[in-house]
Amino acid sequence: MKPLGLNEIREKFLSFFESKGHLRMQSSSLVPQGDASLLLINSGMAPLKPYFSGEAPPPQGNRRATTCQKCIRTPDIERVGKTSRHGTFFEMLGNFSFGDYFKSEACKWAWEFCTEIMELPIDKLYVTVYAGEGDGLAGFPDEQAYDIWANEVGVDPSHLSRLGKEDNFWEIGAGPCGPCSEIYFDRGPDPKCVDPDNCKPGCDCDRYVEFWNLVFTQFNNDGSNNYTKLNQNNIDTGMGLERMACIMQGVDSLFDVDTIMNITKRVSAITGAKYGQSESVDVSLRVITDHIRSTTMMISDGILPSNEGRGYVLRRLLRRAARHGKLLGTDKPFLFEVCETVINESKAAYPELDEKKAHIIRVIKAEEERFAATIDAGMKILLDLRRT
Ligand code: SER
């Protein structure tokens, strides 16, 4: 297995699925179009929902598509910087079937990509299938997937296991959903594991890292967990690009991935703070690195800082990054310079970054200046209070 850059992995994935007859589509905007249930796009399938339900005809008449989708998830924002895995921005690679191929091809191609294109060692790969849980249509175990992995793909049964709804049934509120299979990479025993003798995929420790989720989208959830069968069987897979990059580059943390580390290096060069200097400096460097990735992408998709909705998410991320800059001892706006590195690292995949470069820089600088003015005004009030 050769070390591969994040940009190379993205390209290898998309061209692999093109070779399997998939239409390569650009990432959709982070701003959901015609979907009021989401503030920001949070998975590869989110912009494609109408194709799964059959409401919209397949894109350019093609029932197979592959994308690398920009995604933002903020529920774990407080953990960003403190762990090796949490980030608010990530890229999700996916191959999709809109009523075309189903489980058998999805499993075989995922395995082929892992073992022949990425050249991951088979003895490090583990697969889970849905064990079934509860009543009704969504309660049945996925024996079909188990059989495909064991007998068609040839995964050793000791590397195959069954997990319940929390791990192996994919849904976000209302909409297309279904049982899933996940592929894990074994990083070797984790000294922090609380039950090393029984450690297996699904364990909370860092030994088995899940990097690819294959969803067999066959049901619709009406939003109250009432499931009906969709008119067509679909495939929605999501492979975390940063996670695969960690595996291919032999690093534990997403912040050590090549393109992401280049952003941290730029922050270090501007602020003088060295990565590895102390835990608190590392946390600040990682928060800035993550947040400047998300905010640069959000602004390139037309979001502006404001006090509500998406604009508020953007403002909060920018101000958190600016505050961590202050913790590193930087008094002047600096994020507007760091965003150039984000643009350079990712513009090949997202040309809108380069097209909107001047606008992105302007928006970030203005928000940094506004934030600095707010802090100065607050400090003045505090000092005046002390004098009275
Ligand atoms: N929708 C699934 C996920 O986000 C697979 O793409 O994990």
pLDDT digits (tens, 9 = 90+) for 211-221: 999 999 999 99
State the pTM of this model: 0.95
CA of 338 from ligand 1 middle (Å) equals: 30
Could you give phi then psi for residue 155, rounded to 5 degrees? -75, 135
Distance CA 294, CA 253 (A): 18
For atom 3 of ligand 1, the residue with the nearest CA is 238
Task: With cut-offs at 50, 70 and 90, classify the pLDDT of residue 4.
Answer: very high
Which atom of ligand 1 lies closest to the CA of 172? Answer: 1
pLDDT score of 208: 96
| Residues whose CB is less than 8 angstroms from the CB of residue 201 and which lie 6 or more positions away in sequence, other chains included | 126, 128, 161, 163, 182, 184, 208, 210
In order of 1, 120, 242, 282, the CA distances from 4 in angstroms are 9, 12, 12, 25
Distance CA 14, CA 33 (A): 23
Distance CA 379, CA 264 (A): 29
Contact 181, 129 (CB under 8 A): yes
Nearest CA to 7 out of 291, 259, 265 is that of 259
Digit-coded pLDDT (tens) for 154-176: 999 999 999 999 999 999 878 89
**Angle at CA 78, nearest 5°, toward 72 and 81?**
85
For atom 5 of ligand 1, the residue with the nearest CA is 238
Tokens representing 170?
């994919």
237 C-beta closer than 6 A to ligand 1:
yes
How high does pLDDT run on average in the chain? 95
Distance CA 213, CA 98 (A): 17
Neighbours of 179 (CB within 10 A): 26
380 pLDDT above the threshold of 80: no
pLDDT score of 84: 86
Which atom of ligand 1 lies closest to the CA of 238? Answer: 6
388 pLDDT above the threshold of 70: no
374 pLDDT above the threshold of 90: no
Nearest CA to 293 out of 81, 51, 5 is that of 81
| Residues whose CB is less than 8 angstroms from the CB of residue 198 and which lie 6 or more positions away in sequence, other chains included | none
For atom 2 of ligand 1, the residue with the nearest CA is 238
322 C-beta closer than 6 A to ligand 1:
no
Which atom of ligand 1 lies closest to the CA of 214? Answer: 5
Nearest CA to 13 out of 82, 66, 87, 81 is that of 66
Which atom of ligand 1 lies closest to the CA of 215? Answer: 5
35 pLDDT above the threshold of 90: no
Q: In the beta sheet, which residues pair with residue 178?
A: 170
CA of 59 from ligand 1 middle (Å) equals: 19
Structural domains of the chain ordered from first start: 6-249 (3.30.930.10), 257-387 (no CATH)
CA of 66 from ligand 1 middle (Å) equals: 13
67 C-beta closer than 6 A to ligand 1:
no
Digit-coded pLDDT (tens) for 249-296: 999 999 999 999 999 999 999 999 999 999 999 999 999 999 999 999
